[in-house]
Amino acid sequence: QVATVSEPILAVANALANIDVFSSLAELAVRYSYVRPELTEDNRININQGRHPVVERSLVDSSFVPNDTYLSNDDAQLIVLTGPNMSGKSTYLRQVAIIVLLAQIGSFVPVASATIGLVDRVFTRIGAREDLVAGQSTFMVEMVETANILNNAAPRSLIILDEIGRGTSTYDGLSIARAVAEYIHNYPGLGAKTLFATHYHEMVELASFLPRVKNFNVAVIEEAGKVIFLYKILPGGVDKSYGIHVAQLAGLPKSVVYRAREVLVELEEDSGKALAKPSPKGRRRPEEVPQQLLLLGQKSPLLEKLEKLEIDALTPLEAINKLYELQKKAREG
Ligand SMILES: Nc1ncnc2c1ncn2[C@@H]1O[C@H](COP(=O)(O)OP(=O)(O)OP(=O)(O)O)[C@@H](O)[C@H]1O
Ligand SMILES: [Mg+2]
C-alpha cells in the first residue's frame, strides 16, 4: 500500500529536505551576521573581513580575527602564504574555500562584504592522510592529489594548497612546492586562482619574478621571549618558523626543547658556512669561467634579445623554438 504512493512520499521528503537546508542557512545567517555576497562572472574574488564559520564558533576565550582576500586572474593569481606554525594559515585557506562554496550554493557568508567571481571547481590539497590499505603512504597520497589538481584545474578554478611538499625531505619538498607553483602560474590554460600556504620561506622569492604571485604572511609579535599570534594576514613574506616555540607550548619535555634549540643554532651556522664556502682550492672550476668577457657596461646581444622577448605573447611552441634559437646562438659564441 505504501509502495503505491511512494512517489508523492518521496516528493514530500524532497520538499522537506529543501526547506530544512534553506531554513538552516537562513537561521545561521541571522544568528551569526552573515551577509549576502555579490556573485559575478568576472575573474575576481574579493572578500572583506572574512571569517571561518566553524573556527569562529569554537573559540571560547578569544575572538576570531577576520581577514581580507583578493584573488584575481589578472594580477593576484597565486598567493604564497607564509607564517609560523599555529599562526592560522590553514584556517585562512579553508575559510576562503568555504566562503566561496557557501556563496555558490546560495547561502549568505561570514564576511563584512564579498564579491565572488563564480568558480567552476574548488580543488584542495590539505592535511596528512594515508591510505595504507590501498598501498599509499602519506606522501604518495599528497602527490596523487596534487597531480589530480594540476591535470584538471582550469582558469576558473580555485586551488587551495596547504603545505605541499611537507611530507618529504626539505629539498625534495621545496623543489616540488616551487615547481608546482611555477606550473600553476605559467602553464598555458591553467592560471587558476590559488592560495598556497607553505613553511618554505624560499617560496617568497617567486613573487620577484612571477608577476601574478603575491606574498602574504600571518602576523606574530615577539615579546619578552614569547610569541604572540595575531592571526592577521599582511602583505609580504616571513623568515621564521617558531616551530620549537610551538613544540614547547605543546608540552614537549624541557630537555628536548632545549636540545632542539641547540641543534637549530648548529644547523643554521652550518648552512651559513656552506653558503660562504669558497670553491675547491679557492679557484674557479673551468665550467664556471664566463665564455666571453664583456667590457664593463656592455650588454651581450643575446641578453638584449632575451630582454626584449614578450613571453606572454608566445605560444608554448614558439617559446621552445626561441629557446633553441638562443641556445644555438650561445653555443656559436
Ligand atoms: N583568524 C583567527 N582568529 C583567531 N584564532 C585563529 C584564527 N585563525 C586560526 N586561529 C587559531 O589558531 C589555531 C591554529 O591555526 P592553523 O591550524 O590555521 O595554523 P597553521 O598556521 O596552519 O599551523 P601549522 O603551520 O602548524 O599547520 C586554530 O586552531 C585557531 O584556534
Ligand atoms: Mg596548517
The CA 321 to ligand 1 mean position distance, Å, reads: 47
Does the Cβ of 110 fall within 6 Å of ligand 1?
no
Q: For residue 290, what pLDDT is reported?
A: 44
Q: CATH 3.30.460.20: does it fit domain 33-241?
A: no
**C-alpha cell, 92:** 585562512
Nearest CA to ligand 1 atom 18: 88
User: Would the CB of 91 count as within 6 Å of ligand 1?
Assistant: yes
In tens, the pLDDT along 156-193 reads 999 999 988 877 777 888 999 999 999 999 998 899 99
CA-to-CA separations, 157 to 37, 53, 70, 171, 177, in angstroms, rounded: 18, 22, 15, 29, 19
The pick from 86, 166, 232, 242 for probing ligand 1's pocket by mutation, whose C-beta has the most ligand atoms within 8 angstroms, reads 86
Question: Residue with the nearest Cα to atom 1 of ligand 1?
Answer: 65
pLDDT on residue 106: 94
pLDDT at res. 288: 40
Ligand 1 atom closest to the CA of 91, numbered from 1: 18
Q: Is 81 in the pocket of ligand 1 (CB under 6 A)?
A: no
| Nearest ligand, measured from the Cα of 50 | 1
Cβ of 65 closer than 6 Å to ligand 1, yes or no, is yes
- What backbone torsions phi and psi does residue 117 show, to the nearest 5 degrees? -75, 125
> Is any atom of ligand 1 closer than 6 Å to the C-beta of 64?
yes
pLDDT tens string 119-139: 999 999 987 666 666 767 788
Q: Is ligand 1 within 6 A of the CB of residue 89?
A: yes
Which residue type is seen at 96?
V
- Nearest protein CA to atom 23 of ligand 1, as residue: 86
Q: Give the percent of the chain with pLDDT over 70.
A: 88
Residue 142's Cβ-side half-sphere holds a number of Cα atoms within 13 Å equal to 18
Counting ligand 1 atoms within 8 A of each CB, the residue from 57, 67, 87 with the most, and so the one to mutate, is 87
87 lines ligand 1 (CB under 6 A): yes
Distance 120 CA to ligand 1 centre (A): 28
Name the stretches of the chain with pLDDT < 50: 277-295
C-alpha grid cell, residue 310: 614578450
Predicted confidence at residue 326, as pLDDT, reads 82
Ligand 1 centre from 62 Cα, in Å? 12
Rounded Cα distance between 240 and 134, Å, is 37
Distance 74 CA to ligand 2 centre (A): 27
Ligand 1 centroid from CA 186, angstroms? 30
**Which residue type does 310 have?**
E
Task: Tell the burial category of 117 from Cβ atoms under 10 Å away from its Cβ (0-12, 13-18, 19+).
Answer: buried
Ligand 2: centre distance to CA 166 (Å): 11
